A and B are shown apart, each in its own frame.
Chain A
Amino acid sequence: MSNKLSFVLIALLMCSGARAEPGNSFFQGEIIMERVALFLSFEPYSKAQQGFSQLNERLEEAAAMAADGRLDKAEEILDYSGYSSDAIAAALQNLADEPGAELDEILQLEHALGQYEANSAEFMLALDTAMLRTLGKTDSEESRSLLASEHEKLQDAVEYRKARTIIKLKAVHEFSAAEAEHYIKQRMAALGIRQEENMQTLLKVGQGYAALARERLEHAHDKGYNTDNLAGFIDKLQQALRSGDMLVEQRDFTGVRQLTRISQQISSLVLSEEDESMFEHEYLSQASHAVSEIGQLGNTSTR
């Protein structure tokens, strides 16, 4: 019923040629219909999946706004994510009781969370790129911390539920830790879950940030500023990102996440500063510290 109403609303929207955006009644209508649909979804697993698709939809809408250079609207859209993520966290507490079914559900929701993480990272890169083109620098900390807090809330809920499910699975089937791990891998293969795809997306975002930073440094270099030191750090970063596939192959997903975070950190030193003359002297110690983290990451991943 609620889905039909959503279709009618969207059809009206398309006919009118208007665009749904914050502050616009079509957008408010769309959000209300989505919330009603989520509220009326009684099956917890479907509710959580629906919540994730709404979160991803918000990111797509925000990315479209950013691509149009409407940065304030892009950031405003993200404020509408809270209801969906709260609904997901609540639904996670009521998944199937039978441990086999519960495991399948939690593995698929964990995968959905990984997709949301990758989509959030892609959106942040799109937003930073748009800011750089429009404002000459990036200023996206508020959006970044909002998305990070939504992700952390969902990750806590998923991890908590997964840990419970695994203990229940071990108790019911009297599995050892190794048997439980093997069973989980089997179920992931049977469900066609490949976390590697999300990790590849994160690596691409890391590479995108490094490329943006390099572009900015080259621009400063052309103007006569000495950017050799910072460019050296970006070189090392790009080198590490090129070998990031190895981390994915080794299923070192923590390593991939750290590498992407470091790339974003080093790049934001370059991207968030308007005055290019600062690249000659400032940030060198911070960049050096971040690059040394990459070195440690290499040691960790080879262990």
Chain B
Amino acid sequence: MRRLLAVLMLFIMIASLALAQELRYDIYEFKLKYGSVLVLNEKIFSEPANLSTAIPIPKDARGVLVTVNLEPVELEIREEGLYKMLVINKTQIERMRLSYITELQPPDEFLITLQSIYPTNTLQASLTLAPEAVLDIPFVKAGGSMYPKPNTVDTDARSTIYIWERRKLKQGDELSLYVKFRQKTNLFLGAVLITLFMVILGFYLYYLRGQRSRGKHVK
């Protein structure tokens, strides 16, 4: 249960910082599959920054990769309560990328709070649904299953991509996202199965009718 809480309480934040910094871009990409999510985060600093940081990620995070200025960083990971902590000590950081995969619990809900620990010029979060998934309630309908409403809806020809953007965030500002989705019903397959069933039933009834009329004939 603690692991699940860690997944849910995915606060992507930096615990300590040598100098006060500002982020030009803080970009999150979440690629959903039924039951798991690939998380990509890129922080681009306004000026080269010196960082002594501990980044909390969920305990079940796998395939963890961190690059600083496009160079892979050797990971130092320690367990701390609900989280795995990624320890990074680097100077002159211009951009930092972090990626990993984590499980969703329940598998059809995505919940996250992104907290800006630095003043941030642009925070962008994009969420890509799996090709076979759709929103539980389309977001054009009242109620909906996606909050808040995205700024942009896009597609890569296979999946729908929802994009949220916030500007001029102060330190501590948050963006919370809630998305409920479900597996798309395959209408074509359903129609084929029903047609097949009707055809078989038709043949069977035709056969029965033939049997009966032959019986009468014999009498």
Contact = CB atoms under 8 A, between A and B. Distances in A.
A167 interface: yes
Contact of A172 (B8, B106, B147, B172): B147
B174 A163 contact: no
A157 B5 CA distance: 9
A171 B173 contact: no
Given A159-B5, A164-B111, A177 B178 contact: no
Size range of the chain B interface in the assembly: 10 to 19
B9 interface: yes
Nearest to A168: B178
Contacts of A164: 8, 111
Given A160-B8, A176-B174, A177-B174, A171 B1 contact: no
A197 interface: no
B2 interface: yes
A170 B8 contact: no
B4 interface: yes
B111 A176 contact: no
B69 interface: no
A43 interface: no
Interface of B: 1-2, 4-5, 8-9, 106, 111-113, 147-148, 172-174, 176-178
A164 B2 CA distance: 13
Contact of B1 (A157, A167, A172, A174): A157
B172 A171 contact: no
Nearest to B10: A167
Contacts of B111: 164, 167-168, 171
Main secondary structure of the interface of B (DSSP, over half): mixed
A79 interface: no
A171 B147 contact: yes
Pick the 3 closest A-B CB pairs, nearest first.
Answer: A170-B176, A171-B178, A171-B147
A160 B96 CA distance: 30
Interface of A: 93, 153, 156-157, 159-160, 163-164, 167-168, 170-172, 174-177
Nearest to B146: A171
| Max count, chain B CB within 10 A of own CB: residue among A156, A171, A172, A174 | A171
A160 B1 contact: yes
Given A167-B176, A168-B176, A176-B173, 13 more contacts: A157-B1, A160-B8, A163-B5, A164-B8, A168-B111, A171-B147, A171-B148, A171-B176, A171-B178, A172-B178, A176-B174, A177-B172, A177-B174
Given A167-B113, A171-B111, A172-B147, A160 B173 contact: no
Contacts of A163: 5, 8-9
Contacts of B9: 163
B177 A160 contact: no
Contacts of B8: 160, 163-164, 167
A171 B177 contact: yes
Contacts of A174: 147-148, 176
A160 B9 CA distance: 9
B112 to A, nearest CB: 7
Contacts of B5: 156, 159-160, 163
Contacts of B178: 167-168, 171-172
6 contacts: A167-B113, A168-B111, A168-B178, A170-B174, A172-B147, A177-B172
A109 to B, nearest CB: 15
Contact of B4 (A160, A168, A170, A172): A160
Contacts of A160: 1, 4-5, 8
